[in-house]
Amino acid sequence: MANDNKNKEQVIRLDDIMYILLKHFKTMLGLAVLGFLVGILISFAFYIKGLARVEYYVTASIAVTSTNENGMFSANSSDPNATDIHLAEDMTDSVIYVCKSDTTLNAAAERLQLIGVTADDIRPNLSLSQYEKTQIIEMRLVWDNPDEGVMILNAITEVVPNILIDTLKIGNVSVVNPPKVKTSTLSFINVKIVAVCFLIGAIAAAGYYLIKHFIHPTFLHADDVKDMYDLDILGEIPGDKQYFNMKVNSFSANDYSSVQEYFSACAHVLVYRLQDIDNVCVYITSSASQEGKSSITASIGYALAKLGYKTLLLDLDVRNPSLASKFIYDRDDRHTLNAVYFGDATIDEAIVKINSNLDILPTKLEDKRLAIDYKMLEIISIAKTDYDFVIIDTAPVGQVSDSMSINQAADCAIFVVRQDQVWISAVTDSIERLRKSGIALLGAIMNDTKDGSINYYHSNYKQFADSPYVHLPESEKKKRGKPILSLGSSKGKKDEGETEEKEKVIADDIGTKILKKRIKELEKKNAKDSQSKKEEAEEVEQLEESEISEDTVVEEANSKVPDEKAPNTKASSDESSDETTETSEETSDDEVADKKEMSETSEDDKDE
């Protein structure tokens, strides 16, 4: 089994990656902000050392005209017409392209004789844009020397007319606004440095969590648990902090949670899977602490009790008992498993009644720790005889071996896996331990799943929790009468008497089904016993007939002997007849007594 588990690899899905990133989004954002601040500090350090770049913004504007090389417009006129103006507007994009071309920028740099300045240095800092779809082009140059920036824009406007004529054979530009330094800013915050540091922070956080998950993967899907260990998934419990922060027996209709439905489904699964076992004893364990096994134990026990099954919850996580904290009841040192183990109280005295079908035997953390030995197993064996289900909360099997000590008293075990909590390797080791110990693994429960779709469903339907006949017409509701099972009330808490009455009705309904089954079994047994009695009576009758035949033979023989022997023969015959009569009367009395005893037994079973 170990080799099989190792051969089965977990599949990494795209939604797993998204889940990991979303789960740690706050951490990633925090590191990104930290990177942003580091970028600002680095920029400030550059500024202190004089490495910060001072940038000046030089602006200008030019107008495009559609004149030819002779300076004339389309009609050989020195004045433009509408056609010339539209032509100039259409030429604007072409002029912008020519202005930023290598030919123009290199010609401007050569004109100024700038050492080390090329077209590649000017182009990223030069921006040209058409002004509101007119023939005007706005120019802006970001440069670290304001005088040099003005000279570059002037040089561009001077060389571009000749280049337009050489390339387009038409077009010219005229200066609208001469170059000037519009603003100057001290950019001690380097945008590039800050952006890079921000991205490094975010990517570092994302990479850390992804690599961590690939090296030490955890379970994100219940199907992975099922496929890897061949375990049935008994339930997937969604994470609901409000539900798990409340006491299990404090819920009212106003505190309705969809989680209750999940535990109810788990209870139904347990009932179905363990229907052939009387006085079921199940313990619940996990790989590590903080996986929610105690909360699951309490909730499943409460759900079984609501179904009408007499249930006992037993806390055997002796190193860290917490099952009692899931319920509201009056604490008493005598009402603990410790008191039973050390002989200070009997089992009946120590058991705490939560409701009519649910009891709990809590454990108290003391200096003298309980031992799971033969004495403890005997306590479990005695206690479970009075219950349909005994659910035991045990220590994590991946950390201590206490759980496996209960195998002799338990029928099976349930394994809890919390989503994205424990490494898969730890879960594998724990399940291998359980299987090697000989306990039957009933299945697994995936706890704290991140699935909110069901919450919307139940938030819309919880208002119908008062009646299972809510979808029936009024006439049909009256015909069927009051529902046997009520899921709660939306008007608030009912008094204790009414609650107990509802629980009694539930128990009676389920108990009736069980009794019907038992009555049928008794009827079959009684029919079989009656057939056996009938056969015995027939044998007795045959015996009596045989004895009567013998008496007849004796009488015939006596009739042939002398008269003096006749009295003796008659006396012998009378004695034989008396013995036969007595035997018949005793047989009849025994049959009546047996039938009466069988009838009383059947009536007692029906009452039970």
Q: What tens digit of pLDDT does each residue of 490-536 get?
A: 333 334 455 455 444 444 554 555 555 556 666 666 676 677 777 77
Evaluate the CA torsion angle 365, 366, 367, 371 in order and state its sign.
negative
What pLDDT band is residue 403 in, cutting at 50, 70 and 90? Answer: confident
Name 593's Cβ contacts closer than 8 Å, sequence gap at least 6: none
- Tally Cβ neighbours within 10 Å of residue 581: 11
Q: 34-38, 237-241, 418-422: lowest mean pLDDT where?
A: 237-241
* CA distance linking residue 523 with residue 39, whole number of Å: 88
Q: How much is the pLDDT for 129?
A: 94
**What is the 8-class DSSP label of residue 386?**
G
* CA distance linking residue 331 with residue 110, whole number of Å: 95
Q: How much is the pLDDT for 45?
A: 81
Q: Coil, strand or helix: which one is 303? A: helix
* CA distance linking residue 107 with residue 47, whole number of Å: 34
* CA distance linking residue 172 with residue 157, whole number of Å: 10
Tell me, yes or no, if the pTM score tops 0.85.
no
* CA distance linking residue 91 with residue 135, whole number of Å: 8
Residue located via tokens 């035949």: 549
What pLDDT band is residue 548 in, cutting at 50, 70 and 90? Answer: low
Phi, psi of 235 (to 5 degrees): 180, 155
- Tally Cβ neighbours within 10 Å of residue 173: 21
Sort strands 412-418 and 441-449 into parallel, antiparallel or unpaired: parallel
Assess contact for 388 and 311: CB atoms under 8 A.
yes
* CA distance linking residue 569 with residue 557, whole number of Å: 9
In the structure encoding, which two tokens stand for residue 602, read together? Answer: 């059947």
Q: Is the pLDDT of residue 267 over 80?
A: yes
* CA distance linking residue 32 with residue 14, whole number of Å: 23
Q: How much is the pLDDT for 178?
A: 93
Q: Which helix (H) or strand (E) holds 30?
A: helix 25-48
Evaluate the CA torsion angle 562, 566, 572, 574 in order and state its sign.
positive
Assess contact for 514 and 276: CB atoms under 8 A.
no
DSSP characters over 5-21: HHHSPPPPPHHHHHHHH
- Tally Cβ neighbours within 10 Å of residue 42: 16
Tell me the domain boundaries of the chain. 2-38+41-47+190-215, 54-186, 223-464, 497-607
CATH number for the domain whose boundaries are 54-186: 3.30.70.1130
Q: Is the pLDDT of residue 451 over 90?
A: no
* CA distance linking residue 557 with residue 293, whole number of Å: 90
Which CATH architecture fits 223-464?
3-Layer(aba) Sandwich (3.40)
Name 305's Cβ contacts closer than 8 Å, sequence gap at least 6: 311, 354, 355, 356, 357, 358
State how far the alpha carbon of 359 is from the alpha carbons of 363, 406, 451, 480, 525, in Å: 13, 20, 32, 34, 35
398-425 CB burial, b ≥16 within 10 A, e <16:
bbbebbbbbbebbbbbbbbbbbbbbbbe
In the structure encoding, which two tokens stand for residue 457, read together? Answer: 């469903």
The residues with which 130 forms a beta bridge, in sequence order, are: 137
Sort strands 311-316 and 358-361 into parallel, antiparallel or unpaired: parallel
Q: Is the pLDDT of residue 93 over 90?
A: yes
Assess contact for 445 and 259: CB atoms under 8 A.
no
pLDDT in tens, 18-27: 888 888 889 9
Q: 45-59, 76-90, 354-368, 372-386: lowest mean pLDDT where?
A: 45-59
Which residue type, as a one-letter code, is found at position 590?
Answer: D
Mean pLDDT, rounded, of the chain: 77
Q: Coil, strand or helix: which one is 278? A: coil
pLDDT in tens, 134-168: 999 999 998 888 889 999 999 999 999 999 999 88
Q: How much is the pLDDT for 466?
A: 38
Q: How much is the pLDDT for 390?
A: 95
Displacement of CA 35 from its chain's centroid (Å): 35
Q: How much is the pLDDT for 146?
A: 87
State how far the alpha carbon of 4 is from the alpha carbons of 51, 212, 219, 229, 446, in Å: 62, 24, 17, 8, 21
Q: CA torsion angle for 464, 470, 474, 477 (degrees, to 10)?
A: -120
What pLDDT band is residue 185 in, cutting at 50, 70 and 90? Answer: low
